[in-house]
Amino acid sequence: MAGTGARPPWGLQWRSSTAFILATVAIGLFTDLFLYGLVVPVLPFLLRDRISIPDDEIQSYSSDLLAVYAGVQLLCSVPAGWIADKTNSRQAPFLCGLTALLGATILLAVGQSIGVLVIARALQGMSASVVWTVGLAMIRDTVGPQNLGKAIGTIFSFISVGPLIAPVVGGILYDKIGYAGVFGVGSALLGVDFVMRLLVVEKKTAAEYGSHPENENDGTDSAADEATDEPTEEDALLQRKQDERYEIDGEPNRLIRAIPVLYCLRNPRLLVAFIMAFAQAALLAAFDATIPTEARDLFGFSSLQAGLLFIALNIPCLLLGPVAGWAVDRFGTKPAAVIGFGYLVPVLLLLRLPPEQHVDRSGNIALYCALLALNGVGLAIIDSPSFVEASDVVQRYDKANPGFFGANGPYAQLYGFNSLFFCAGLTLGPIISGTLRDRIGYGNMNAVLAGAAGFTAVISYFVIGGKPRIGFGRTQ
């Protein structure tokens, strides 16, 4: 056993440091998003040039291939979370996910039929289910709940560079070299990812050797429960009453004992947090599925030019992610969710302007880029509220029922369910948006998405973070 005087691994201090663990998770998530985004602007042209799909069927096939990835991720997320909570280490499943991603990349490089592309996207989805479920659990294990919003905001800001540059890189490489160049870049990134995942040492493993890396956090304290002022007797009574609401009554059935996080689903705050994750993913997927085809039809863009449009959408996420995450930690989840989804309503409606040709072609391109950037601001704001809200609710159940959720807690299971809803959004987003664009037009499609964003803002106001009150203060 490590704790009985075994020699510690080489480089234990830096390999188990908060910075290296978070960097490893960030690179893993970045790689998943990068390889996903690498294909987005290429798909319509790959389907036409390599597989000879007719032009009038390309939108449908593109949307379906995007949906396969998310659909498989949806099916695998909860099992991945359950396995991760039952194993002693998060690292092993983290490495297994990388194997599936390598297989997917190879098949995408050599695939000459729709069937092979479907298998490749399915393997990508399997990998993503592991990477996101286990990766998010590792983040919480490392920083605890106090800094969760800031950590998520910062990491999501970094990984947003993936979908920012991947379509550009994919468009350039496919335009100039073909898919061999795309595969080469993807393989190099996979190599870096593999080395980092192999080297990382989790904090609880490091503790067995007597190591205490900086910022070690066992995740038992909650920023939501802390106050800057001395608690009064009334505050203590109120806190005790709130905690009692999360205590499990009676003997849970066999299914709840096997997957204990299911008990938490009776809480409306958790359900709305999942709805927020679904809505966020559906919006992201709608942009991925329709920007390349809209750019091709509206402006005659190539794969490279279509890829460049994603810069306008993703730069706000890169710049505003850490700030938005800090705001969630500081002011709670309600303001970010309500403001973010509410803000998206008008800016989504404005996307109907470029297709109506109000100005000349170059003016319409500039207008479209500006509107995509405005939408990117909203996407940055809604990055972390659903994740932090879900974590807070389940943490309260975990604290109120010691031992019920097992030694590792229910967090990988939780993020498996969170990923399930997120993937449901990624699955349905391309299908719904692609169908709507074909049937009612791009502008009307975005009007439907605006209505969905508005609905999410309303239910977020009334449910998440406790009862609403003036000023959006923390009310958990």
- Name the one residue in this structure whose structure tokens are 């309303």: 458
CA 466, 472, 476: angle at the middle one, nearest 5? 25
**% residues pLDDT > 90 (the chain):** 12
Q: Kindly tell me if the per-residue pLDDT of 342 is higher than 90.
A: yes
State the chain's mean pLDDT as an integer: 78
Is 384 within the bounds of a domain?
A: yes
Classify each residue of 251-288 as buried b or exposed e, where b means 16 or more C-beta atoms within 10 Å of its C-beta: eeeeebeebbbbbbeebebbbbbbbbbbbbbbbbbbbb
Q: Which residue range(s) make up the domain with 53?
A: 7-205+259-463
Is 318 within the bounds of a domain?
A: yes
Domain count within the chain: 1
Q: What is the pLDDT of residues 299-327, one digit of tens each?
A: 888 767 777 788 888 788 778 877 888 88
- Name the one residue in this structure whose structure tokens are 């990766």: 135
Is 285 within the bounds of a domain?
A: yes
Is 380 within the bounds of a domain?
A: yes
How much is the pLDDT for 465? 77
- Give the mean model confidence (pLDDT) for residues 230-251: 60
CA 342, 343, 348: angle at the middle one, nearest 5? 105
- The CATH number linked to 437 is 1.20.1250.20
Using CA atoms, how far apart are residues 219 and 235, in angstroms rounded to an integer?
23
Is 377 within the bounds of a domain?
A: yes
Confidence band of 189 (pLDDT split at 50, 70, 90): confident
Is 231 within the bounds of a domain?
A: no
Confidence band of 420 (pLDDT split at 50, 70, 90): confident
Q: What is the pLDDT of residues 192-219, one digit of tens each?
A: 888 888 888 877 777 777 655 554 444 4
Q: Classify burial at 10, counting beta carbons within 10 Å of its beta carbon; exposed 0-12, middle 13-18, buried 19 or more.
A: exposed
| Amino acid at position 27, single letter | I
Q: What is the pLDDT of residues 46-64, one digit of tens each?
A: 787 778 788 778 877 877 8
Is 476 within the bounds of a domain?
A: no
Q: Classify burial at 89, counting beta carbons within 10 Å of its beta carbon; exposed 0-12, middle 13-18, buried 19 or more.
A: middle
